[in-house]
Amino acid sequence: MAIAQARHRADGSKPLRVHVILWNSLGQGSIAHAITELLDNLPADRVERRLWSLGRHPTSPRDYHSPALSDLVSRALNKFGVPATIQGRIAAPRVLRSIEAGDIVYVWPPFDLPFIKRAQQKGAIVVAERTNCMAPMARDALTKAYARRGMPLPAGWFPAPVMAEEVRQMTQCDFVIARNSFVSQSLRDVGIPQERILEGSYGYSPQRLASAIGIDRPERPPVFLFVGYGIIGKGLDVLLEAWDRAKVNGSLLLAGELEPEMQASYEHILARPDVNALGFVGDIASVYAAADVFVFPSHVEGGPQVCYEAAGCGLPSIISPMGAGRLVRHEAEGLIIDPLDTEDMVRALRRMAEDPELRRALGRTAAERARQFTWPRVATELYEHFSAIARGDATPVADRVPIDE
C-alpha cells in the first residue's frame, strides 16, 4: 500500500510528501545545518517538505518548518528538564495525524521505535539518517583510542540495552542512509541488508564559505587547522602529542570547544606560542581562510561536514580514514593517517610543513573534488533516493559520478 501510494507521486502527478523528524531542538549545530541545507535544495515543485522538531528555528525559520510542540509546552518541558526522547513521545500524535499512506518519513536521531512503527502502520515509508557508525563499531574504535592513553571507556558508554535498541530501530526502518563506507559496513555488521542501505555523503555551501574559497594564501610557515569538539574521539590528543614532537616551523589553530579533560591533560602543549585554541567560532569561513592545512584524525564519524568544507576552501588534509568520508580516498587527495599512531601523524605534519608544492597540489585536488559535494548535489542525490524508493526500485549508489562539465 505504501509503495503504491508513493508511486502515484513518483510519476509526477503529485509531489512526493516528505516528513523530516528531529526529536530535538533545531539549534545551530551540524545536524540542523545539514537538515536545512538538504531541505532547502530539494526541488520544491516535486517535493512537499515538512520539518518537525521540538522547537522553533532560532535564527532563520523556513516555511516548511513545523514545531511539533507549542512554545508554551516546549518551554515548560525544557524548564523541568524533560528529555528530548520523552518530548518526542509527547509530540508524536500531532505529527502522526499529518502522515498519509505513501509519505516518506525521514527520521534523524534520536530515533524512536514506537513512532517508526506507528508511521509504518499508517502506510508511510520510513528512511533513517545514520549520522554515525553503529554502536559496535564505534565502541571498538573508541576503546582503542582510550586504551592508547591507558584509559578505559568512560563508565556508562555503550550499555547493552541501548545497543540492542539501536539495532531494532535500524532493522525496523525501511531504508537507512549511510554517509560513508564505515557507516555502511557498521550497518551490514549488525545484519542490515545492503539493498536497504542508501549510500550518500554530506556536503558544504560555497556561498557560506565564499570568503575562504579561491583565495591566494601567502608564503609563510604553514598554519594547521583542527575543527570540531576537542575530544579523544576526534583524535585531538594524537594531534597535540604529534605537534609537540614534530617541531615543525608553523602554527596550529584549534576551532571548537575543548573537553575539560583534554585541556587539563595537554595544558603544557596548549600553552605553546604556536598553538592557538580559539574556542567556538561563529564565522567558520574565517578560520578556513586563515589556514594552510586541515587536520582531522577522528576515530568515529558518520561523514563529517568539516572535511567537505575544508576541501571546498582548497585546504589539503591530514585525515583519518573515518574522517575522510567519501572525499579523500587515496594519497593523491590527502595524507591518510592511522589515528592511533602518533608517529604517523608526526611524519604527516613534517611532510606538509616542509613541502609547499605538495600542499598546493593537494589543495587544488581537494577544491576540484569538493565541487562534487556541494549541498545542491547532495540534495539531488537524496531526491533521487526518495524517487527510487517511491518507484519501488531503490538501489544503493556506489560512489559519486564525475562532474559533467
What digits encode the pLDDT tens for the residues 249-273? 999 999 999 999 999 999 999 999 9
Across the chain, what does the average pLDDT equal? 91
Using pLDDT thresholds of 50, 70 and 90, give the confidence band for residue 404: very low
CATH class of segment(s) 2-203+375-391: alpha beta
Residue with C-alpha cell 595537554?
266
Domain boundaries, the chain: 2-203+375-391, 210-372
- Residue 383: how many other CB atoms lie within 10 Å: 18
Got the DSSP string for 273-326? TTEEEEES-S-HHHHHHH-SEEEE--SS-S--HHHHHHHHTT--EEE-TTTTTT
Query: With 0-12 CB in 10 A as exposed, 13-18 as middle and 19+ as buried, what is 203?
Result: buried
The pLDDT tens digits for 271-285 are: 999 999 999 998 999
Residue 139 grid cell = 565502541
Q: What topology is assigned to 210-372 in CATH?
A: Rossmann fold (3.40.50)
Q: Are 384 and 400 in contact (CB under 8 A)?
A: no
Instruction: Kindly give, in sequence order, each residue whose CB lies less than 8 Å from that of residue 166, ignoring residues fewer than 6 positions away.
Output: 111, 134, 135
Of the pLDDT bands very low, low, confident and very high (cuts 50, 70, 90), residue 332 is confident
Domains 2-203+375-391 and 210-372 share a fold: yes
Coil, helix or strand at residue 226? strand
Which residues 6+ apart lie within 8 Å of 80 measured at CB?
A: none
Q: What is the 3-state secondary structure (H, E, C) of 79-122?
A: HCCCCHHHHHHHHHHHHHHCCCCCCEEEEECCCCHHHHHHHHHC
Single-letter amino acid, residue 285: A
Extract the C-alpha cell encoding 378.
547532495
Q: What are the tens digits of pLDDT across the range 94-128?
A: 999 999 999 999 999 999 999 999 999 999 999 99
DSSP H helical ranges for 173-253: 181-189, 236-246
Q: Whole-angstrom Cα distance, residue 229 to residue 300?
A: 13
State yes or no: pLDDT of 321 exceeds 70.
yes
275-279 and 251-255 strand pairing:
parallel
Question: To which residue does cell 564565522 refer?
Answer: 283
